[in-house]
Structure 1
Amino acid sequence: MKASKNKLIAPVVATLAIALTPAIAFAHGKLESAEPPVNGTVSTAPGVLRLTFNEDLEPTFSTIKVADASGASVGDEKAKVDPANKRVLTLAVPKLAAGTYSVQWAVMTGDSHKAKGTYKFSVN
């Protein structure tokens, strides 16, 4: 009888452990907001792109690349993690002409998780 109770208790304990584990343990870097906005249109070309994530970033392994509609790279600056807010990654860009631009980002968070993504924005 004791062995059968242990067989029933083990799955219950395992389920509770998983359910009660904080969600942050399973989190990965996620883009929360961007300036210019994801799939947005701006009337004035930005001088700096500003991407905000849900976790602190590792500067050495966090990048942003911008390309114009033809796929040509825009600018040669490197992305920088904001020292005042390590969840913010910025990239200075040259004056952008009207058109659509692709932003490709890749980050590593403080807990060594990697994430990447792309989005577009347009300048009128």
Structure 2
Amino acid sequence: MKKIVLLMLLATSPAFAHAKLVNSDPAANSNVKSPSMIKLSFSETLEPAFSTATLTDGAGRTVPVPRSVGGATITLLPIGLKPGAYKVNWQAVGHDTHKLSGSFGFKVIP
């Protein structure tokens, strides 16, 4: 019996949570009026020095926007986005130091 318990303990590995994107506003693939804020919410507190997001337009050009990282949130503050397609590219690092990245798009409508 002791051998079985020991094998079970050795076979299990600790589960580490990663900072996964759980919500965005605007939502992925949505059509919205020009947003004054883009908010990305993650499953855990982020390491601000290693977590970021950028915004690109339909031609792939970077749109300069102020951004901040606090708690489990990355916030972008775009001003006067013109109608068209946009893409948010993000990189998130949680306390476990595992980096996750992704992107999502949305459209600004008149």
Do they fold alike, i.e. is TM over 0.5? yes
CA distance in 2, matches of 1:116, 1:106: 4
Which has more helix, going by share of residues?
Answer: 1
Q: Which runs of 5+ in 1 are unaligned?
A: none
Matching of residue 33 in structure 1 with residue 29 in structure 2: no
Alignment equivalent of 1:48, drawn from 31, 37, 49: 37
Aligned residues: 109
Check the 8 A contact 2:19/2:93 in 1, yes or no: yes
Matching of residue 81 in structure 1 with residue 66 in structure 2: no
CA distance in 2, matches of 1:62, 1:9: 40
Partner of 2:91: 106
Tell me the secondary structure at the aligned position of residue 86 of structure 2. strand
Check the 8 A contact 1:50/1:91 in 2, yes or no: yes
CA distance in 2, matches of 1:28, 1:104: 17
How high is the sequence identity, in percent, across the aligned residues? 34
TM-score by length of 1: 0.77
Structure whose alpha-carbon radius of gyration is higher: 1
TM-score by length of 2: 0.85
